[in-house]
Chains A and B, each alone.
Chain A
């Protein structure tokens, strides 16, 4: 089993749609969690950290479920500019990166 697993997609959604990504992790001792966004041939950029109680930043909501060992990212009212690959990152004394989920938002 991979340490961090994500559905690679691609997710193709129309503008305005709501889309959700999940990410599962294997190390129950993982301490912190992040979502990064990576545009094609660019560097990853932090989208948001994920807190135990869940957190929201505008149209983006992140949730953590420690019992089931997964984190999620919800994007509401998708924009064309949200098209990117979303990387799940888990800190288990070292950072473990998922392979990413590709999102394409279509007009």
Chain B
């Protein structure tokens, strides 16, 4: 079955350490996204990529970095510069980019990675 795999599911990190969250999809989707979810807040977009080797900052990109070297993979690095990294991180993909989202082109999510900074 096609889907999105995120790993690890749970991650603990000490302050000052960088950590990389993995996101792999076998849906053959062009667009991929990283969101962050905090209690009492809606999903906030960190980065998105509409095509291989291209990505754009979302609303809260500071302290994060991404790469898109392969269509299937969109890893997110949470750097030590991110002031409040403890959160639930969600990776998503869609067949085409946000500008073309419709009933036939929707966002599908991975199961998420829960990061806790100690």
B72-90: CB near A (< 8 Å → 1, else 0) gives 0000000000000000101
The main secondary structure of chain B at its interface with chain A is loop
How many chain B residues touch the partner (CB < 8 A)?
20
Of the candidates B42, B109, B112, the one whose C-beta lies within 8 Å of that of A98 is B42
Residue pair B98, A93 in contact (C-beta under 8 Å): yes
Is B101's beta carbon under 8 Å from chain A?
yes
Residue pair B110, A43 in contact (C-beta under 8 Å): yes
Find the A residue at minimum CB distance from B41. A99
B97 → chain A closest CB, angstroms:
10
Most buried by A among B42, B88, B99: B42
7 interchain residue pairs of minimum CB distance: A49-B103, A43-B109, A97-B42, A97-B43, A91-B101, A99-B42, A32-B102
Apart from A43-B111, A46-B106: 14 A-B pairs, beta carbons within 8 A? A31-B101, A31-B102, A32-B101, A34-B106, A41-B114, A42-B112, A44-B90, A51-B103, A87-B42, A91-B101, A93-B98, A93-B99, A94-B45, A98-B42
